[in-house]
Structure 1
């Protein structure tokens, strides 16, 4: 699990940098200020939760095997896909219904943090 989570983290980190640069350089003249702000929010949450994934991956790599810790990896990863992915798509396409999907990713982020808290509470073993 540790290698898989580190691989997933690396891919999400790469994409966060690439999509952030794309937004800053490729979209700044193509999106309205409102949609650029939406895109920025997607990048911000993408980065923050990639760093959370990195921390959890390090714990797993060091031997922590708590089920809640493993669950947090998948909750953060799917949260990035749904939360940030829906905001990226909303910003680029201006299809407003995509914003309705975003809170699902937010709930997954919250559950990921709670899973991490459960693992910490129980000693990460």
Structure 2
């Protein structure tokens, strides 16, 4: 699982830099201030959690699959649904079905953090 976490951490980190630059340069001219803020929120959360994946992958010898997938799917559902909502809104055809995906992704991220807390507590007390 560690190798998968490291792989996804690197991919998500790289994409966060690309999307951040895209938002700051190309999208700045076409997005409203509110849309740009939402897009930046997606990028920030993606980068924060990409770093978490790398930290887990490098420091927890055998992380549980549930821990890893909570973060990996949470990142995808949270950040990428925000990108989809913002970009589709710019085109005038907002993909409303993505609206409920964002909080589900957030819930998975919260579950990931809870599982990380549990994993750490087992390591310290185990």
Q: Scaled by the length of structure 1, what TM-score is found?
A: 0.88
Matches within 5 A, 1:58-73: 58-60=58-60, 64-67=61-64, 70-73=65-68
Structure 1 position 114, deviation (Å):
0.5
Aligned to 1:76: 71
List gaps (5 residues or longer) in structure 1. Answer: none
Matches within 5 A, 1:49-64: 49-60=49-60, 64=61
Asked if 1 retains the 8 angstrom alpha-carbon contact of 2:9 and 2:52, the reply is no
Deviates more, 1:1-10 or 1:108-117: 1-10
1:18 and 2:18 matched: yes
Q: 1:92 to 1:66 in 2, by over 3 A?
A: closer
List gaps (5 residues or longer) in structure 2. Answer: none
Aligned-residue RMSD, C-alpha = 1.6
Matches within 5 A, 1:110-121: 110-121=110-121
Q: How many residues are treated as equivalent by the alignment?
A: 120
Q: Scaled by the length of structure 2, what TM-score is found?
A: 0.88
